[in-house]
Amino acid sequence: MTSTTEMNTLKPVTRRPTWAQDTRVQRVALDAVTYTLLILGGVIMVAPFVWMLSTALKQPADQFTRTFIPNPVTLDNFATLWEKLPFTTLLINSFKIALITTIGQLLTCSMGAFVFAVVRFPGRGALFFALLATLMVPAQATIIPNFLIFRALGLYGTQVPLWLPAFMGGAFGTFLLRQYFLTIPIDLAEAARVDGASLMTIFWRVYLPLAKPALAALSIFTFLGSWNNLWGPLIYLPADLNQTTLPVGLALFQAQYAGRWTVMMAGSLVSVAPIIIVFFFAQKYFIEGIALSGVKR
């Protein structure tokens, strides 16, 4: 009786189908390959920075050794850099110009993007297409006309030509912010308009607070482009180390002290450190802004 009752209470054992097991194995294998490729790509991307840091902390006699860990660690390269160049002045000039350029781009591009995304007027599409067409004009084609204009205005030899064009808008920044503004429901602008808000109020109080990710992305792009700008200071500030920027100073140092890679890597490390710090703190908004700028309502 007992054995019969136990046999009746036993439930049939269900086995996972073979196709389900194969799918799970394939998914695990695909994840393993994906993570391996990502880790390998990360190592390849980080390796130059590790080599730069390692070389900057080495003694000049050990600059061609293959060891990544310096022995002994020295900070003399940074001291040499500050002795040979007005490095503090170069850093201040680069930061000031990059900051003013970023503010100018954020201000003018956000206004233009708001007009193209929210305000309806005849010829809006054609005008926006003409703006995008300027992206096909290489920057090198406008060097001579810009130089002649700034020289005629008496601005040659000053820092103004390096940041003034940023206050005249930009096709890329306008396009990026316009695409993000299109993801914001137009009902918000219409409701504010019904309440009596002006276009400037809607722009300043409704759209700008919601566009922080896109603004952060544009800020990083603009700041990075201005910080690494070499040919602009070479054209407008050819021989004034007290007004020129860090890339020009490093280029001059490399020409005068060729082969001193430990000092050059120390300068390069100081040059890229602000960019890495800015991206580290703003990467969340940067990635979100890039992702959502391609979505259209």
Q: Each residue of 112-127: pLDDT tens digit? A: 999 999 988 899 999 9
**Same-domain pairing of 121 and 163:** yes
* pLDDT score at 19: 57
* pLDDT score at 24: 79
**Same-domain pairing of 147 and 42:** no
**Same-domain pairing of 228 and 109:** yes
Q: How many domains does the chain have?
A: 2
The answer to whether position 69 is within a domain reads no
The answer to whether position 6 is within a domain reads no
Q: What is the CATH number of the domain that holds 152?
A: 1.10.3720.10
* pLDDT score at 104: 96
**Same-domain pairing of 99 and 132:** yes
**Same-domain pairing of 126 and 43:** no
Q: Per this entry, what is the length of the chain?
A: 297
The answer to whether position 67 is within a domain reads no
**Same-domain pairing of 206 and 280:** yes
The answer to whether position 83 is within a domain reads yes
Total-model pTM: 0.80
The answer to whether position 1 is within a domain reads no
**Same-domain pairing of 40 and 146:** no
**Same-domain pairing of 42 and 112:** no
* pLDDT score at 195: 87
* pLDDT score at 18: 63
* Lookup: tokens for 229: 């700008």
The pLDDT profile of the chain, 297 residues, written as one tens digit per residue, is 445 555 555 555 555 556 556 677 788 888 899 999 999 999 998 888 888 888 888 888 887 777 778 888 888 888 888 888 888 899 999 999 999 999 999 999 999 999 999 988 899 999 999 999 999 988 888 899 999 999 999 999 899 999 999 999 899 999 999 999 998 888 888 898 888 889 899 999 999 988 888 898 898 889 989 999 988 999 998 777 788 898 988 888 887 777 788 888 888 888 888 888 877 777 776 676 566 555 544
* pLDDT score at 12: 54
Q: Which residue's entry shows tokens 């280029």?
A: 251
* pLDDT score at 168: 92
3-class SS of residue 297? coil
Angle of helix 261-292 relative to helix 76-84, nearest 10 degrees? 90
* pLDDT score at 14: 55
Residue-wise pLDDT tens digits, 34-58: 999 999 999 998 888 888 888 888 8
CA angle 175, 181, 186 (to 5 degrees): 140
Task: Fill in the amino acid letter for 190.
Answer: E
* pLDDT score at 217: 86
* pLDDT score at 240: 75
Domain extent, residue 29, equals 14-56
**Same-domain pairing of 175 and 34:** no
Residue 239: which of 252, 226, 255, 254 has the closest Cα?
A: 252
